[in-house]
């Protein structure tokens, strides 16, 4: 038997370190090559690291929230044969991650990255030992905690027995104590401390940087989308086989192409350190997307070169890949303007925070029938509210308001979107 010391591989895109989000294996666990062993958060995406070999886990370096440098040993396996004993015996093998603020220098030699992880079906684990820490994502653990579910008694259907949301549903449907119990009305005094790590930490850092360094101003407007709704229904009813169903967002994205061309100062990135504004001819629209793991912003690239069906298809692809945890770094970076949709939640207004270094963001509320006055008569029209925020260092109030008004005109007369 030998020891295989595995170093954090080069994740690409200039990434030099990653934050440990979750270990998917435990000490003593037998794993197969390409089994997911570690989830790492970089500045741009969450990446699952596959096992480089068959073997038994004998050590792990770093806990959730710690930072591991590319090239640093993150896990060691006991394997058949000699392993890479020379590497395991080197001083680097004893390197430990002290904290997310204390990173030791990584060796210069990085082994070739393995092939992409393959999906493998694992038989659910049902014979859990009391006190064993079951494998589950932070979102699943939070849901179980809030529902009073002890994960030790839940069989996991994911890789290596990992518990999923569907496993929690199945457990409750099977007549679990939680499903049968009535409401708990007893007084409670406990507290739960939740470390801010992984994606939640990135969101906190990004929002703090945006809100504290960008002087926001917001602008609200109502849009009559009655005609747009009629066109949307017509196109959906007559779309060809295999074409995506159109929501409001593809129309808004196509209208933004024209609005941002008229107001190019709104399709820009601001480098506040060097005080340089870069206006973009290409229109790459970020779509704020809520997932079980938190908020991500996948990007639809080159909307200016697409028709509405292509926009809808690409938006569906990147948002679904993001929800499934399969979006790559290319899908999650490069936006020049962001849209955040409140969907069915609606609301009267919001003050969305700009996705730095962009200079504007558009919030889209739900559309609903409302009584409005037209030519002195009260009529029912379909009204949508828009909330926008702008970087006042770069975008004057008139410019931001004008961009929204151009957008309003296009959406209220949807034929002009395609002219």
What secondary structure does DSSP assign to 275-315, as a single string?
TEEEE-SS--EEE-EEETTEEE--EE--GGG--HHHHHHHH
| Token pair recorded at residue 328 | 């790559």
User: Which is more confidently placed, 222 or 293?
Assistant: 222
Q: Show the tokens assigned to 44.
A: 């741009």
- Is the full-model pTM beyond 0.75? no
Query: Averaged over 374-401, what is the pLDDT?
Result: 97
Is 2-94 in CATH node 2.40.50.100? yes
- What's the number of CA atoms in the CB half-sphere (13 Å) around residue 379? 10
Backbone angles phi, psi at 177, to 5 degrees: -55, -35
Say whether pLDDT at 129 is over 50: no
Q: In the predicted model, what is the mean pLDDT of residues 215-238?
A: 97
Stretch among 6-20, 171-185, 328-342 having the lowest mean pLDDT: 171-185
Pairing assessment for the beta strands 377-391 and 216-224 based on DSSP bridges = antiparallel
DSSP output for 74-109: EEEEEESS-BTHHHHHSGGGG----BTTB-PPPPS-
Nearest-10 Cα torsion for 344, 402, 259, 379:
50
**H or E stretch covering 17:** strand 17-23
- What mean pLDDT is predicted for residues 26-41? 90
Q: Would you say the C-alpha torsion 105, 111, 117, 120 has a positive or negative sign? A: negative
Token pair recorded at residue 257: 């192409």
Q: Which CATH number fits domain 138-179: 3.40.50.280, 2.40.50.140, 4.10.320.10, 3.40.50.970?
A: 4.10.320.10
Instruction: Report the DSSP pairing between strands 36-41 and 17-23.
Output: antiparallel
How do beta strands 285-287 and 337-341 pair? parallel
Task: For the chain, give every domain's residue range.
Answer: 2-94, 138-179, 216-418
Counting every residue written for the chain, the total comes to 419
Pairing of strands 36-41, 46-50: antiparallel
CA atoms of 327 and 301, how far apart (whole Å): 14
pLDDT of 255: 98
Catalytic residue numbers?
392, 396
Find the mean pLDDT for residues 121-146.
58
Greater pLDDT, 408 or 20: 408
Nearest residue to 86 via CA among 158, 185, 175, 4: 4
Residue 84 in tokens? 């890479």
* Assigned token pair, 137: 């994502």
Highest mean pLDDT out of 57-66, 119-128, 193-202, 309-318: 309-318
The pLDDT value given to residue 132: 53
Please determine, for residue 268, whether its predicted confidence score (pLDDT) is greater than 70.
yes
Q: Which residue has the higher pLDDT, 179 or 32?
A: 32
3-state secondary structure of 203: helix
Q: Determine the average pLDDT of the residues in 363-391.
A: 96
pLDDT at 85: 57
Q: Which residues pair with 131 in a beta bridge?
A: none
- DSSP annotation of 201: H
Residues with Cβ within 8 Å of 7's Cβ and at least 6 positions away in sequence, in order, are 70, 71, 72, 73, 74, 106, 107, 110, 111
Token readout for 272 is 């506040």
CB 361 within 8 A of CB 354: yes
* pLDDT grade for 150, boundaries at 50, 70 and 90: confident
pLDDT confidence of residue 17: 84
- What CATH number matches the domain at 216-418, 3.30.559.10, 1.10.3720.10, 2.60.120.10, 3.40.30.10? 3.30.559.10
Residue 42 has pLDDT above 70, yes or no: yes
- Return the residue matching tokens 């912003």: 297
Phi, psi of 40 (to 5 degrees): -125, 135
pLDDT, tens digit, for every residue of 278-290? 999 999 999 999 9
pLDDT band at 124 (very low <50, low <70, confident <90, very high): very low
In whole angstroms, give the CA distance from residue 95 to residue 146. 37
CA 12 to chain centre: 18
Confidence of residue 101 (pLDDT cuts 50, 70, 90): very low
Q: Is the pLDDT of residue 32 over 70?
A: yes
The CA distance from 112 to 107, in Å, is 14
CA distance 20 to 209: 22
User: What's residue 183's pLDDT?
Assistant: 57
Average pLDDT, the chain: 84
Q: Is the pLDDT at 91 greater than 60, yes or no?
A: no
Q: How far apart are CA 295 and CA 332, in angstroms?
A: 11
Burial of 134 (0-12, 13-18, 19+ CB in 10 A): buried
């Amino acid at each position: 038997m030998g020891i295989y010391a595995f170093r954090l591989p080069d994740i690409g895109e200039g990434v030099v370190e990653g934050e440990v989000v979750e270990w998917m294996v435990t000490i003593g666990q037998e794993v197969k090559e390409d089994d997911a062993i570690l989830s790492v958060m970089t500045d741009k995406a969450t990446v699952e690291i596959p096992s480089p070999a068959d073997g038994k886990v004998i050590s792990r370096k770093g806990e959730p929230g710690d930072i591991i440098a590319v090239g640093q040993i993150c896990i060691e396996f006991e394997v058949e044969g000699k392993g890479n004993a020379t590497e395991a015996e080197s001083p680097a093998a004893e390197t430990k991650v002290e904290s997310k603020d204390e990173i030791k220098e990584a060796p210069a030699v990085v082994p070739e990255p393995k092939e992409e992880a393959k999906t493998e079906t694992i038989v659910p684990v049902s014979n859990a030992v009391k006190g064993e820490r079951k494998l589950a994502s932070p979102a699943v653990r939070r849901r179980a905690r809030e529902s009073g579910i002890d994960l030790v008694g839940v069989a996991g259907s994911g890789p290596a027995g990992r518990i999923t949301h569907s496993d929690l549903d199945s457990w409750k449907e099977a007549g679990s104590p939680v499903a049968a119990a009535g409401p708990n009305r007893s007084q409670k005094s406990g507290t739960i401390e939740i470390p801010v790590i992984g994606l939640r930490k990135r969101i906190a850092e990004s929002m703090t940087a945006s809100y504290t360094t960008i002087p926001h101003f917001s602008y609200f407007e109502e849009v009559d989308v009655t005609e747009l709704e009629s066109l949307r229904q017509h196109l959906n009813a007559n779309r060809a086989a295999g074409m995506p169903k159109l929501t409001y967002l593809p129309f808004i994205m196509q209208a933004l192409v024209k609005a941002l061309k008229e107001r190019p100062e709104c399709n820009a990135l601001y480098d506040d350190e060097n005080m340089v504004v870069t206006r973009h001819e290409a229109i790459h629209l970020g779509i704020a997307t809520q997932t079980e793991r938190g908020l991500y912003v996948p990007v639809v690239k080159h909307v200016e070169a697409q028709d509405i069906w292509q926009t809808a298809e690409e938006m569906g692809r990147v948002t679904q890949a993001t929800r499934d945890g399969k979006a790559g770094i290319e899908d999650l970076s490069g936006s020049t303007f962001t849209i955040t949709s409140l969907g069915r939640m609606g609301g009267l207004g919001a003050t969305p925070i700009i996705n730095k270094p962009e200079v504007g963001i558009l919030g889209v509320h739900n559309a609903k029938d409302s009584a409005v006055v037209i030519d002195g008569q009260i009529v029912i029209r379909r009204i949508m509210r828009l909330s926008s925020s702008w970087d006042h260092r770069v975008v004057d109030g008139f410019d931001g308001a004008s961009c929204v008004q151009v957008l309003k005109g296009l959406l209220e007369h949807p034929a002009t979107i395609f002219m």
